Structure 1
Amino acid sequence: MLNTTYAYDAIVTVITTKKPKWQYYVCWYRAESQEQITILYAMQCFVNPALSILGFSANMLSLVILVRSGLRRSSDILLFSLVIADSMCLFKTMDYAIIIDFFGPDKFIASWCGYQYDVAINYFLAYSQEIFMFIGFWGSSVNSLIPVIITIERLLAVFLPMTFRTIVTTKRTIILSVTAFVFWLPWSSFIVACLEILNYNMSEDKIWTSLDLGELYINNARFFTIFSLYFIDTLVSWFPLTVIILGCCSVWIKVKITLRQRQNMTSAQKISWSPRTTQTLLLTCLIFALTHSATSVIVYLWPAETQVQVFIRNMFMDLLYLINASSNFFVYISTNPKLHTIFINIVQCQK
């Protein structure tokens, strides 16, 4: 039986082998060095959660700004939906339960992952982990679909300015935004349904509780893998990236051509799209494309030979995702004068 210690020392278990070489462990996962454990500990426990909380707070302020703007235009409704999806996405990196799973204090057996406290506390942490995972996966999936809708909306606004308001209405935009959330709800629910809470009695007053893949996944592992690899990954990565990059390039070219034509015309014809609205929406989509492209590059350029290396790589990928999910507020107030004015009024009212 191991004495209970605090978080960092409890998890970093150092053992010797027959060779004069030290081996480091995070729970039962072997690390190559102490530096790997330190990086994982810092990213998972401090960097990502802190930035996620700041980003979540900024997103809440973005929602207030958008609500005060009236939410009368389709672009504002889409931005509002995107902020909600981004805020949900941040739950993945604000999950305190997963931190305790790896680096929790006062563990009965320090080299085990999971929860080793009272039954009530264990179940609270396990269900918290499920809830945070469900909201996070749901939000990250919707987060990849809303920018596609925004890009298509801008394409219609730029290429069909005379009929844009007839095609894109407030009611249709609301229905499409709600559909984006409903579309990804079954998959997010299925992910959580694949998990199972395992318990093991360690003593009279302590049990070991862990969240693991259950029979639903094990019995359908082949289908789950193929469906996830060829369908889900395409919908959340290459499909939105392709649509957004091609769409943004098309809009940018069209805007340049239109502005040049305006300069050559003696009387410019009024069109129904706003340059600053286009700038706000396209910059939002551009940040999405850059951060998600960077995560794909990390996967190919950062080979992971051990599970701890996979954890570290995932932490840096999560960092890029949360940067994307936290950028809305800064984009809105820097590119849209109307939203910037609303923000200034909110700040002045607080004084």
Structure 2
Amino acid sequence: MDLAHRPTADPLLRLLAHGFATAYHHPPGAVWHAPYAFHLTASAVPPGPQLPGTTPRTDWVAAANWSVGVAVAARADGMLRCGSLNHPADGAELPLTGPAAPAPGWAARPYAALRALAAAGYGRGGADLHLNAALPAVVGLPVAESLECAVALAVAGVHAERGARPLPRARLAELLGAAVPGDDALRRAVLFARSGHLLAADGSTYRSLPAQDGGPDPCLLLLTARIAADGHEGAPTGAGDTALANGIALAVREALRAGARSAWWPGKRPGRSVLLLAPRDRRAAIRTAAADAFARRGLPVPRFLRIALAAAADRADRHPHPPTTGKE
């Protein structure tokens, strides 16, 4: 059954498949989903077994239970026709070989990734693509690496089904690392993550992240500061940004005081979002303490999302992908 009409599929992926068919007047050949990925702070990971004379690992990444989606169909003319549910009026038709064409901002990195694949002999025939990111950029989870891996897997996959050579994920990681600036550790999480597990940043080993309160799984909360009522949004250079940064710092202190075990940025640089490791029985108190900290600063109450450790990118139209229920 076409994913757009499969009642048990993720609603966003059904919408993506329907949007693809509406835009290109034929159904997609495949639909992929790829998880958002994030870094973990060393304080969030309990020490594990280690060999004598070695130091504990502190560089871990993981995949989140929120994903980007890609609907794709193969072409044979070397062109990439791409659109996005997040940017409905900003599609493009771009060559994968020869001189590059100007791409819309949202498509620049996926386009660079697909040109790198084409140069290596994968997906040179081109594709129709339709993308969707489940979370807005302001939430703060890194998304660029997820989109790059998703479009590369989708395009290479539909061409492999038509007889082209398949693209191993290890080879994809090498190609993207060499051709597209980005976070290689996050790409490894997108490509190789296991549900319920952390992955070493160099991809060498996995380990579980046990719940510290005896629950069935660890509880991660993503706290995201909202834009102020005046709509201010930008790099922390103005008074409004300073107030926001101070509000986040105060909220983190109060969350730790209320029982959060660790707090850290999900990416490599500070932003408007913070991940909290929250014991299950303290989750409500942590949310209340953080929200009160923002209110005392006269800032809008932050958003909270529950984050679970998910598996790597996969075909969504072959395997069930239940709707995400992580909103707090």
* TM-score bin, normalised by smaller chain: under 0.3
If the length of structure 1 is used for normalisation, what is the TM-score? Answer: 0.26
TM-score w.r.t. length of structure 2: 0.27
Q: Which has the higher strand share?
A: 2
Larger helix fraction of residues: 1
